[in-house]
A and B are shown apart, each in its own frame.
Chain A
Amino acid sequence: MHLLNLSLAEFFTLFSAATAVVVALYLLDRSRRTVRVATLRFWNEAQRPVESAQRRRIRQWPSLLLQLLSIALLLLAVSQLRWGSRETGARDHVLLVDTSAWGGALVVSAGATESLLDQSKSLALAYTRALPAVDRVMVVYADGLATPATAFESDHRKVEEAIRRATAGASALNLAQALEFARGTLTRHARAAGEIVLAGGGRALTSETALPQEWPANLRLLTPKGSPENVGIRKLGLRPSPDDPGLWRILVSVRNFGLRPHAADLTLTFGGAPAAGRTLQLNPGQEVETAFEYRTRAAGLIEARLRTRGDRFSADDRAVLELPAQPELAVTVCTDEPDLLRPLLSSLPVLAVTTRSRAQCLAQSPQGVAVYDRFVPPGALKGPSLLLEPPVDRSPIPFAKSGVNERIERWEQRHPLAAGLRAQDFRLTQALVFRPAQGDTPIAFSASGPVLVAREAAGQPKLVVAGFHPLRSQLKFELATPLLFANILRWFAPEAFRRGEVFAGTVGAVTSPVHTGGELRVIDESGQALPYTLRDEQVRFYSARMGTVRVMQDGREQTYSLALPEIPEAVWTPPQRARRGVPSAAAGFAQARDLWVWLAVLGALGLLLDWLLFAPAGSGHSFGLRNWAPLQRLQRRAS
């Protein structure tokens, strides 16, 4: 037996103070009262023989004792007197509700179909109801992250409400993180550490960092019954063919998470129309990757759907990706020697090249990017234009001199036009050396000056002027020539050269290959940058929510559609010593019994009895009850 709220010394101090006050009030209340009356006539008749003072004092003791006893009972109630040892007092528990994606799997229990999360919630509710009322519980939603839903709460109704609110997320349970969070919370914030209770379906990430190194001794497991079968899509990837524009390579990865072999029908649809299909045989734990090819240059939704008999988890049976359009870059070449440039431009599959004569270009403005071979049209240029060896008198970039046997000595490496260009020491038989104006950017330099200049002005089309003809000089044998043309065309229309790769995967940690150098950006669908780590030419980021993440580096963009739930590959094995199941209220917890309610009721009854029996009738509190015959008899007997 112990007091929960007060120490013994505090209790006796308070009781002494209350006793002093009560005795003082009692004596004051029992002192002789002066009353002014109309006549003493009837009082004389009512007067009885005078009793001794000793007799009077004895008669009033029961009232005082009853008051003191009642106050002592009320003080004990306030102190929360408990029957039982102090060790069995109130404890704080952390209840981890497994809200991982696996909680959405269905199981059949007692003829009814319900999800693992529903079973977990039922077990958590039963556990909460088995706890003593004084125990506090913190509810934590555990999936990839551990998120507290409540503080340590003594109001079990709020705890139950938080349990009922739990919904399955998209990530897998990170058990080590959840247990570490629970352990730390109990250590730092609990009054008396209770249990760490995990209500969940038994699947968790089994990597080294996701499984705890040491299991807590106060762990209790509330494991739902049943092991649902599941065959699901793990990954869906789309990659354009590098040498065949319009051809997409589609890679689908399917895994059998169940304990039985399954035959899964995998179908692909594009824009709602069937695109491909295949039946996969999967043994337990087996993951199969299968590839498809699909040809389209149009944008649209490509959907992979999996149908498996006996599959109890449908969230990973469907993956949808948005296929981006594959645009072509229109290039018009104005030349009287079409064979000179054709081999070079046809090597770039993204280009739609049109060759026109000078007369045709003069008659009709060229579409898209214009390449003018030793020719400059009159008037202003209307689109991005590349001028090769323009006439001296028509060059938009002022020329300084006409050089002979000029040698390119360096490239402006900071400009994208010169990216990757290292070729030097080759001679240009004939070249124009320019005198760049304000805003012009020299790209290639000879000893006499710039021979390749770019101009980019607001409101004006981009312009590149080469003072030499790459294919009429020694440069045509250099690898730098196609690279220079590719750089020029990418600078003109970067979106046409962007290689888009699209993947559908599971939420959680994603690893993506990148190359070193170059600006790397990882953004989610709202444009917010996601934190990432870069190591060994791989970028690694984490997203616990379903959505789209883009990894962009230079002209390459990888889109990750994280629309598949993260399902752990294996079932983790709990330690043998962990307690299991919902304890019964009596057996599970050696709880101390609260007596304060009874003490408060007894104290109140004592005060009420004292008031009914001994309260002065003239104190203004008289009720009809005072004239109740049994009460009067009791009062006479007490007196």
Chain B
Amino acid sequence: MAQGPFIDKHFLERLERLAIHWQKSFGGIVGGHNTSRFSGPGQEFLDHRHFHHGDDLRAVNWRAYMRLEKMFLKMFQIEPRVPVRLLLDASASMEAPTPAKFLAARRLAAALVYVGLVRLDTIILNTFSNSLGDARVCSGGRHRFGPVSDFLSTAEARGTTDFLAVSKQFVERYSQRGLLIIISDFLTDADNTKSFDYLAEFGHELLLLQVYADEDRVPPWDGELELEEAESGARLEMDFDFEARQRYTAAFDEWSEQLRRAALRHGGRFTAISTSLPVEEAVFGPLVRVQGVR
């Protein structure tokens, strides 16, 4: 089937009024667009504290000193530049049962990268399956989006998913805390929530974006089926009917709920996006609602 451009110009123009949002307060140098509870060389007054030796005398509140003969230091709110990392699931399951799922995930990643580039954020884009792939640093403004688009449009889905191994690699590779966006279908046999706990414990803020095909949630098939798992090649024969479909959908929804709880448990966010929803609507719909961008 002929496809349109990977991401169209009109959509990119709409994205320019958005900014990637994180909820945690991270330290860092000035240049971000989300306020932090950490003080720094900002413009907005935050609080006073006692003066200690070595503090900058320019921040001393001299009026208070004249009245109270004690030196207080004025603290200012900063909007630090926070590292944003984006992990894109490129395992074989992303193309099962339909390649539309991986395409939607790549387009979503491209949209987020573009939002970050416009706001002069630095985004590190990683694909992963059973290990973390090569990092692609995206920074420097919107005119650097071309290589990112080329990279994402040529990415291929293969291999199995191992979230725990990827999490360990990620922590080893990126020690500075920041926003971690994971785009995946999260459809593995193993329980992924432990790896999310692991990442959160190292101070990363999680934004989990589950991209699923409608067939993933409500399988449309009936009768006798021979199922083949995309990543492992494992097979299962079963007689699938209405009641089985209901049980399947309930299990899928339960799994999504577990993911949500895992994200929320550590102050993160979670949203599930169907491939039947165009990426533009997904960005300005579910993603805005969970304040992934705003």
| B-binding residues in A (CB < 8 A) | 30-48, 50-51, 56, 616-618, 622, 632, 635-636, 639
Contact = CB atoms under 8 A, between A and B. Distances in A.
B147 interface: no
B228 A33 contact: no
Contacts of A56: 224, 239
Query: Is the contact region of chain B dominated by helix, strand, or loop, or is it mixed?
Result: mixed
Contacts of B225: 32-35
21 contacts: A31-B224, A34-B227, A34-B228, A35-B219, A35-B225, A36-B96, A36-B227, A37-B97, A37-B219, A38-B230, A40-B189, A41-B187, A41-B188, A43-B227, A43-B238, A46-B240, A46-B245, A47-B236, A616-B222, A617-B221, A618-B221
B230 A45 contact: no
B38 interface: no
B172 to A, nearest CB: 27
A50 B216 CA distance: 23
Interface of A is mostly: mixed
B239 A48 contact: yes
Contact of A39 (B188, B238, B247): B188
B185 A38 contact: yes
Given A35-B227, A622-B220, A42 B248 contact: yes
A41 B219 CA distance: 13
Contacts of A636: 242-243
Given A46-B247, A50-B239, A38 B93 contact: yes
A56 B252 CA distance: 27
B25 to A, nearest CB: 37
Given A46-B240, A618-B220, A37 B96 contact: yes
B271 to A, nearest CB: 18
Contacts of A40: 189, 227, 229, 234, 236
The list of the 4 closest CB pairs from A to B, nearest first, reads A618-B221, A46-B248, A38-B93, A46-B247
Nearest to A621: B220
Contact of A41 (B189, B241, B244): B189
Contacts of A47: 236, 238, 244
Contact of A33 (B96, B188, B223): B223
Contact of B229 (A31, A32, A37, A617): A37
Contacts of B247: 45-46, 48
Nearest to B228: A36
B97 A32 contact: no
A35 B228 contact: yes
A36 B248 contact: no
B248 A43 contact: yes
A632 B189 CA distance: 31
A37 B252 CA distance: 13
A115 to B, nearest CB: 71
B236 A44 contact: yes
Given A43-B236, A45-B251, A51-B239, 13 more contacts: A32-B237, A34-B226, A35-B219, A37-B229, A38-B216, A38-B230, A40-B189, A41-B188, A41-B251, A46-B238, A46-B247, A46-B251, A617-B222
B198 interface: no
Contacts of B94: 38
Contacts of B243: 48, 636
B255 interface: yes
Interface in B241-280: 241-245, 247-248, 251-252, 255
Given A30-B223, A46-B240, A622-B220, A36 B252 contact: no
A42 B248 CA distance: 5
Contacts of B251: 41-42, 45-46
A38 B96 contact: yes
Contacts of A51: 239
Nearest to B240: A46
B242 A33 contact: no
B226 A32 contact: yes
Contacts of B227: 34-37, 40, 43
Contacts of B216: 37-38
A639 B242 CA distance: 10
Interface residues of B, number: 40
B217 to A, nearest CB: 9
A431 B195 CA distance: 155
A220 B234 CA distance: 84
Interface of B: 93-94, 96-97, 101, 185, 187-189, 215-216, 219-231, 234, 236-245, 247-248, 251-252, 255
A636 B239 CA distance: 14
Given A39-B188, A41-B189, A33 B239 contact: no
Contacts of A42: 248, 251-252, 255
B239 A39 contact: no
Contacts of B101: 38
Given A617-B220, A618-B221, A33 B230 contact: no
A41 B239 CA distance: 16
Contact of A46 (B97, B188, B244): B244
Contact of B244 (A36, A38, A48, A618): A48
Contact of A45 (B222, B237, B240, B248): B248
Contacts of A632: 242
Contacts of A32: 223-226, 237
A48 B248 CA distance: 11
B103 to A, nearest CB: 15
B94 to A, nearest CB: 8
Contacts of B244: 46-48
A50 B215 CA distance: 23
Chain B CB count within 10 A is highest, among A32, A39, A42, A639, for A39
Contacts of B222: 616-618
Contacts of A30: 223-224
Contacts of B228: 34-37
Chain B CB within 10 Å, residue with most, of A31, A32, A37, A56: A37
B248 A39 contact: no
Contacts of A44: 236
Contacts of A35: 97, 219, 221, 225-228
A639 B252 CA distance: 25
Contacts of B231: 38-39
A358 to B, nearest CB: 115
A41 B192 CA distance: 13
A617 B252 CA distance: 19
A39 B191 CA distance: 12
A33 B229 contact: no
Contacts of B245: 46, 617
B215 to A, nearest CB: 8
B104 to A, nearest CB: 13
A177 B252 CA distance: 88
Contacts of A39: 93, 187-189, 229-231
Contacts of A41: 187-189, 251, 255
Nearest to B221: A618
A181 B218 CA distance: 74
Nearest to A60: B223
A376 to B, nearest CB: 110
Contacts of B229: 37-40
B162 to A, nearest CB: 14
A36 B216 CA distance: 11
A98 B237 CA distance: 80
Contacts of B238: 43, 46-47, 50
A616 B244 CA distance: 14
Contacts of B219: 35, 37, 618
B290 to A, nearest CB: 23
B250 to A, nearest CB: 8
Nearest to A633: B242
B194 to A, nearest CB: 16
A83 to B, nearest CB: 40
Nearest to A49: B239
Contacts of B255: 41-42
A32 B236 CA distance: 12
Contacts of B188: 39, 41
A35 B225 CA distance: 7
